[in-house]
Amino acid sequence: MKTYMTLMLVVNLLIVLFSGHGYQAEKIELPFSSLFSAAASGNVIYSVQQSKLDQEYREAMEAARKLLKQPIGTPAVPPDINLKCTESVAVERLGGVYYKSLVQPEEALCQRLLLAAKQLRLVSSGAEEKANDAILTAGLLFKRNFRKVDAIIRTYKPSPEKLGAVGYASLRVYKEAALLGEKEESPMDVIGGWAARVADKYLGELRRNHDYKAISAFLQLSKLARMLGVSESEMSGLKELSAAMVFKVDFDATCWVSAGSQTVTLKGDAKLTAGQNLQLLMGEGGGKYESYAGGGGGGGRMQLPISYSVSMKLLEFKPCDGTAKLSVDRIGADNETWISPQTGERFTAPGKEVDLFVKTVVDQLFQGYRAEGGGFNFSMPISNLQAQMCTGNFTQTGTVSKSGESFSASITFNITITHTPN
């Protein structure tokens, strides 16, 4: 009884496995409601139904033996999958479709064998040997797919476009063959070497050609490596990708107010690098007030130099969509030094009767760029295949309130993001 239960568990598992991948084996239409009738002595098995099951089992075994004698045909051609800008779901979907074509006709016949054995066992307590033969024969059939995997790897390596489909289908073949008790030395190391060469290619395109879309391809390779059980360290590695994802941000700003026709210019830069989340680049830098003009009267004059620190993040970095958003925590210093024209004394803004010059203009005119939680966000298009990845010009004019008075004002903020790989 224990042997029977174990055998039925194995057969059911295999049938669910193959059926779950969307394959439809030859359906056996049997009116199971008529197979049994109640009787005082128990269920009586109709011999005519058992005969039909025996016939299906014999036909499936005969078809299997015939196929085992035939040479393995040329495997189906794997589809091209451009790993650049292709979602993981799409890679798995295309790989799954290719797997279905690769393992036929063996898998359909495997399912037919296992289903026939299961149904025969339901009506016959003496079918354990047949069920065992069915599982063994199904394993031998499916083992032919090992040779197909060898062939497609040999034929299409080292094509970057074929790697996704071949890698996915190969993994499926070896996993499902193992469930049938068939094992051979896995080709995953070979596929890992293939992935390593493809990774080097994409890293080179990122470094030399500034192909920012290659970043998405490398991330797909990392996911594929994990799926195949290949260590990412066997590829070029995420450290090399991080080293290639280094950017310099240069910025400058011009603030003007009508009172005294005062103008302040400032400029600065920051270095952005990739952290553990390779899709978020961030870094620190600084800005410096370059010049001050205008003034006079009783308002005082700004004393230079004034420097300040700045933090930046490249949010929503989407090379495949051609967009990026730069987050800047501040534009302008938190303190400014001024000199009174009457006394020559220095005083600091913000103070009791004086506001900051730059930040007042920025905060009031750049409300449309204000980020939730503070700072400013600036969206820019990405120029792929260009070292100068992003440029942006942001200008606003209007009226600002400063030190209790209202003035006309304007601000221009220019940004340039340049790729500077290590």
Q: Are 373 and 337 members of one domain?
A: yes
Structure tokens given for 56:
């299906």
Mean pLDDT is lowest, of 41-45, 326-330, 417-421, for: 41-45
pLDDT-based confidence at 11, cuts 50/70/90? Answer: very low
> Alpha carbon of 405 to those of 117, 259, 299, 339: distances in Å?
92, 10, 12, 20
Residue 48 lies in a domain: yes
* Per-residue pLDDT tens over the stretch 126-156: 778 888 888 889 989 999 999 999 999 999 9
pLDDT at 180: 79
Determine the distance from the C-alpha atom of residue 97 to the mean position of all C-alpha atoms in its chain, rounded to a whole number: 20
pLDDT score at 275? 75
Q: What is the mean pLDDT of residues 217-241?
A: 73
pLDDT of residue 19: 52
One domain, residues 208 and 335 = no
**Do the domain assignments include residue 375?**
yes
Phi, psi of 22 (to 5 degrees): 90, 10
Residues 263 and 235 both lie in one domain: no
* pLDDT > 60? residue 88: yes
Task: Report whether pLDDT(241) > 90.
Answer: no
Higher-pLDDT residue of 234 and 303 is 303
Return the half-sphere exposure (C-beta side, CA atoms, 13 A cut-off) of residue 1.
Answer: 0
Query: Which of 227, 228, 204 minimizes the C-alpha distance to 217?
Result: 204
Residue 211 in contact with residue 386, Cβ under 8 Å?
A: no
How many domains does the chain fold into? 3
With pLDDT > 70 as the criterion, what percentage of the chain qualifies? Answer: 85
Specify whether 359 is located in the same domain as 277: yes
47-52: average pLDDT: 75
Whether 192 is in a domain gets the answer no
pLDDT band at 55 (very low <50, low <70, confident <90, very high): confident
pLDDT at 421 over 70: yes
Do residues 163 and 194 lie in contact, with contact meaning Cβ atoms separated by under 8 Å? Answer: yes
SS3 state of residue 67: helix
Query: Which of 132, 154, 183 is a domain's end point?
Result: 183
Q: Which residue has the higher pLDDT, 277 or 105?
A: 105
> Which stretch of DSSP H or E encloses residue 13?
helix 2-19
Cβ neighbourhood burial of 350 (10 Å; 0-12, 13-18, 19+): middle
- Which residue has better confidence, 316 or 106? 106
- pLDDT at residue 70 is higher than 70: yes
- Quickly state the pLDDT bin for 205 (edges 50, 70, 90): very high
Burial of 174 (C-beta count, 10 Å sphere; 0-12/13-18/19+) = buried
Answer whether 0.85 is exceeded by the pTM: no
User: Rounded distance, CA 220 to CA 320, Å?
Assistant: 13
Residues 159, 71 within the same domain: yes
pLDDT of residue 386: 98
Asked if residue 413 and residue 324 are part of one domain, the reply reads yes
Q: 222 and 330 share a domain?
A: no
Mind listing the pLDDT tens digit for each residue in 282-328? Answer: 999 999 999 999 876 566 889 999 999 999 999 889 999 999 999 99
What's the confidence (pLDDT) of residue 35?
33
Q: Please indicate, yes or no, if residue 290 is contained in any of the structural domains.
A: yes
Crossing angle of helices 88-102 and 214-228, in 10° steps, is: 50
Domain boundary among 183, 210, 233: 183
Asked whether residue 178 is assigned to any structural domain, the reply reads yes
Residue 284 lies in a domain: yes
Residue-level pLDDT at 16: 45
Position 331 confidence tier, pLDDT thresholds 50, 70, 90: very high
- At 345, phi and psi to the nearest 5? -80, 155
- Using alpha carbons only, what angle is made at residue 79 by residues 76 and 80, rounded to the nearest 5 degrees? 145
Residue 67 has pLDDT above 70, yes or no: yes
Residues 235, 329, single domain; the answer is no
Domain boundary among 155, 183, 211: 183
The pLDDT score that the predictor gives to residue 182 is 83
Of all residues in the chain, what percent carry a pLDDT higher than 90? Answer: 56
Amino acid identity for residue 255 in this structure: C
* Residue 333 pLDDT class (50, 70, 90 cuts): very high
- Assess whether pLDDT exceeds 80 at residue 46: no
Lowest mean pLDDT among 35-49, 78-92, 120-134, 191-205: 35-49
Residue 38: which pLDDT band, with cuts at 50, 70 and 90? very low
pLDDT, average across residues 362-379: 96
Domain that holds residue 169: 2-183
* CA dist., res. 71 & res. 357, Å (int): 83
Positive or negative, the CA dihedral 285, 419, 236, 161 is positive
Instruction: Flag the least confident range among 26-35, 135-144, 165-174, 230-239.
Output: 26-35
Q: Within a domain: residue 386?
A: yes
Q: Identify whether residues 219 and 116 lie together within a single domain.
A: no
Over range 233-261, report the average pLDDT: 86
Label each residue of 276-327 as H, E or C: CCCCCEEEEEEEEEEEEECCCCCCCEECCCCEEEEEEEEEEEECCCCEEEEE
Which of 20-34, 98-112, 122-136 reaches the highest mean pLDDT? 98-112
Q: Looking at the structure, tell me whether residues 141 and 273 fall in a common domain.
A: no
Residues 239 and 250 in one domain: no
Answer whether residue 188 is part of any domain: no
* Whole-number pLDDT of residue 289: 98
- Identify whether residues 105 and 208 lie together within a single domain: no
